[in-house]
Amino acid sequence: MSGAVDIENGDGNHHLVTSDNPDHPANLIPSLCAKFWTLGWVTGTGGGCSIRDDDLVYIAPSGVQKELMKNTDIYVLALSGQTDLKNRVYLRSPPCGRPSQCTPLFLAAFTKRGAGCCIHTHSQWAVLVTLILETQGPGRDKLFEISNIEQIKGFGRGFQKQGNLGYHDTLRIPVIENTAHEEDLTEFLEEAMDKYPDTYAVLVRRHGVYVWGDNVHKAKTMCESLDYLFQLAVEMKKLGLPWLADVPQVLPSSKR
């Protein structure tokens, strides 16, 4: 297990998670996780969410029912103060609970991609897609690819690139192997980011998916779009329909 050190002032730094603003990260994370629970993304305390506000990082705890989470359950750390992502120094910890093992993966999204939000779900559709890809057998990279579906437009073109993917583009999401301990996924996640620099998500075999974005809005909408595409892909597979299709571009007569 990784170490965790707390640096607190007299009030336990509870002021870091106290605000009347519903968009404050400490309020937004419980609100988002309650919504994710209704979608089946964070069932049984699984999954989580983290938001970066400049140098401060707010993280959902581990082992807490995500639909019942409160602002006082949130962990806070300073991103610039971390010298070892697996042995973290916290500015604020709740009086009970434990840090999320997802934390180093969230921090990887913040440090390697400059993300403002990272979401981890245990979506059944994400897991099913990885199971379908298992049937391809060993000896090749596992990669979820889908094209010519309107919802693909919900994704950016890639890290530091302008605009979104188009209808005729191909969305590619790498798949990494699962590990017995969540923190041990960090190196695999970072390798996938390096190999597929334009991806905004990484699937974890038989586990779920990590999705990140420049801000909460982008991370949330891409996570929703991705779950839609995963469900669609599973249904397409049932019908024997390919995920990659050669669909010609059609233009109205006025643009020909």
Active site residues: 150
Phi, psi of 172 (to 5 degrees): -125, 125
CA angle 97, 102, 103 (to 5 degrees): 80
What are the start-end ranges of the E strands in 20-147? 48-53, 56-59, 75-78, 88-92, 117-121, 143-147
Residue 120 is assigned to a ligand binding site: yes
Was 102 annotated as part of a binding site? yes
Enumerate residues 6+ apart whose C-beta is below 8 A from 20: none
Are the beta carbons of 146 and 71 closer than 8 angstroms?
A: no
- Alpha helices by DSSP H, 53-144: 103-113, 124-134
- Tokens representing 51? 């938001």
Residue 93 · residue 80 · CB < 8 Å: no
Strands (E), the chain: 4-6, 48-53, 56-59, 75-78, 88-92, 117-121, 143-147, 170-176, 201-204, 208-213
3-class state of residue 220 by DSSP: helix
Residue stretches of the annotated binding site for substrate: 102
Residue stretches of the annotated binding site for Zn(2+): 120, 122, 207
Residue stretches of the annotated binding site: 102, 120, 122, 207
